[in-house]
Amino acid sequence: MEETYSYLKKVIELTFTQNVWRTAKSINLIASENVMSPLALKVYLSDFMFRYAEGKPFKRYYQGTKYIDELEVMTNELIGKLLDVNLVDIRPISGTIANASVFRVLAEPGDSAVIAPVQAGAHVSHTKFGTLGALSIKQIEMPYDEENMNVDVDKAVKLIEEVKPKFAVLGGSVYLFPHPVKEIADAIHSVGGYLHYDAAHVLGLIMGKRWHNPLKLGADVLTASTHKTFPGPQGGVIASVNEKIFKQISKTIFPWFISNHHLHRIPATAVTALEMMKFGEAYADQIVRNAKKLAESLASLGFKVLGEHLGYTKSHQVLVDVRAQGGGAKAAKLLEDANIIVNKNLLPYDTPDKVKDPSGLRLGVQEVTRFGMKEDDMEEIAKFMKMVLIDKRDPAEVAKKVSEFRQEFRVVRYCFKEEDLENVNLPGTSTLLDLLK
Ligand SMILES: Cc1ncc(COP(=O)(O)O)c(C=O)c1O
């Protein structure tokens, strides 16, 4: 076969095999992922993906942007409604880019920032190894409270009063319980600094009213990804209650951190925001119920699940110590062979050199919840995990059972269905469904 065609064959095969494997055969428990609704996907695949719109809506450097201008303003408004704030910018193309834009405005190179401890979930972008370091902002970690699996509030307040950093960062990638927003906001404001909350993981839970809204508790600015518990297209967002900071960020994000902002994200984010308005509370409620149930089920089957004394979890995540099952790297690989997709993770007591083979697994239930799984199904997932990791059954044999189980959960829930759209009559004769044909 001509070489070009053999490459083409490979591209097509790998893409479609991935599609079937991850959306039809496996149980996805990666805490940072999700799937879009069919309607969001429909508007995602639009002409906007080929276009440019540098600058702000209605003040672009390009012609041909009148429709994206309107859509972008509307999307910012919809996200603002869900967060109950007025200042929103959807242009960051990822959570990391959103963080970079905020960090760079809140501090100059050489200044200090105080971040949540890594054990309480700080993301790499908050650290000297990531975006903060790349911007030459000094990282100072808040002390960790082992008992509460959280920031040690008293010590952190003292530290902030001593160091007087330009800003503090809360929110993270691996956390089960809400960080102490009010206390840290009061402390950082008392020394003239700002509080930045990274809601990449919990944006959907905040909008669904199952997680506190940090912007109501003293945080000045919030960043997030738009594709984790908020189940939109991959992208980022910034929201704020502080006009001065927000103005600076929106003035500088282009051209400092983005040029074009990948426009096809915008209508898909708007559809997802509308779905969150209609279905977000039920969705977020089921997520936190499922996470708790998964934790309880795993514990009852013999796994060491973190946070028992605190009720295991209040987020979409569950942390499991799998040292007794061979460690995080081995456990994650065995589960993958059984079509259960998780990530290995450092646990609060792991030293950083354990990063390649940490003690734990991080599990997130937001995607399986979206496919309609409820508490009983969490028990089934826990049993599959036990078969692989405790009973040492052949992963290939378990993979077949997992695929069969998955067949019942192929339809995305908590989103607009065709029947809904058929019944919405627009002025004139068409329905919303007709518009999509
Ligand atoms: C807390 C936190 N912030 C930022 C990010 C980065 O987001 P993105 O992948 O959208 O750049 C992540 C990614 O998982 C995260 O967990």
Write the residue with the smallest CA distance to atom 8 of ligand 1. Answer: 95
Q: In 10 A of CB 170, how many CB atoms?
A: 30
Token representation of residue 433 = 């469904």
Q: Which residue puts its alpha carbon closest to atom 3 of ligand 1?
A: 200
CA 133 to chain centre: 22
d(CA 33, CA 31): 6
pTM of the entire predicted model: 0.97
136's torsion region: left (phi>0), alpha (psi -120 to 50) or beta? left
Sign of the Cα pseudo-torsion (30, 142, 305, 229, in order): negative
Gap from CA of 430 to ligand 1 centroid (Å)? 41
Alpha carbon distance 365, 188 (integer Å): 33
- Pick the atom of ligand 1 nearest to 126's CA: 3
Sign of the CA dihedral with 209 first, then 268, 223, and 67 last: negative
Are 66 and 420 in contact, with CB atoms under 8 Å apart? Answer: no
Expressed in angstroms and rounded, the spacing between residue 199 Cα and the centre of ligand 1 is 9
If 0-12 CB within 10 Å is exposed, 13-18 middle and 19+ buried, where does residue 1 land? exposed
What number does the ligand 1 atom closest to the CA of 122 have? 1
The domain ranges of the chain are 41-273
Q: Which atom of ligand 1 has the smallest separation from the CA of 235?
A: 10
Measured in Å, residue 233 CA sits from the centre of ligand 1 at 14
Tell how strand 55-56 and strand 27-28 pair up: unpaired
CA distance 249 to 254: 9
Alpha-carbon distance of 67 to 147, in angstroms, equals 52
Q: Which residue has the tokens 């309607």?
A: 39
Mutation to probe ligand 1, out of 30, 33, 125, 198 (largest number of atoms < 8 A from CB): 125
Q: Is the CB of 229 under 6 A from ligand 1?
A: no
CATH topology (fold) of 41-273? Aspartate Aminotransferase; domain 2 (3.40.640)
Report the distance separating Cα 295 and Cα 307, nearest Å.
9
Any atom of ligand 1 within 6 Å of the Cβ of 212: no
Q: Is 94 in the pocket of ligand 1 (CB under 6 A)?
A: yes
Per-residue pLDDT of the chain (437 residues; tens, 9 = 90+): 689 999 999 999 999 999 999 999 999 999 999 999 999 999 999 999 999 999 999 999 999 999 999 999 999 999 999 999 999 999 999 999 999 999 999 999 999 999 999 999 999 999 999 999 999 999 999 999 999 999 999 999 999 999 999 999 999 999 999 999 999 999 999 999 999 999 999 999 999 999 999 999 999 999 999 999 999 999 999 999 999 999 999 999 999 999 999 999 999 999 999 999 999 999 999 999 999 999 999 999 999 999 999 999 999 999 999 999 999 999 999 999 999 999 999 999 999 899 999 999 999 999 999 999 999 999 999 999 999 999 999 999 999 999 999 999 999 999 999 888 888 877 776 788 888 87
Distance from residue 95's CA to the centre of ligand 1 (Å): 5
Does the beta carbon of 226 sit less than 6 angstroms from any atom of ligand 1?
Answer: no
Structure tokens that stand for 385 in this block: 């995990």
- 3 Cα: distance to centroid of ligand 1 (angstroms): 38
Query: Rounded CA gap, 219 and 202, in Å?
Result: 15
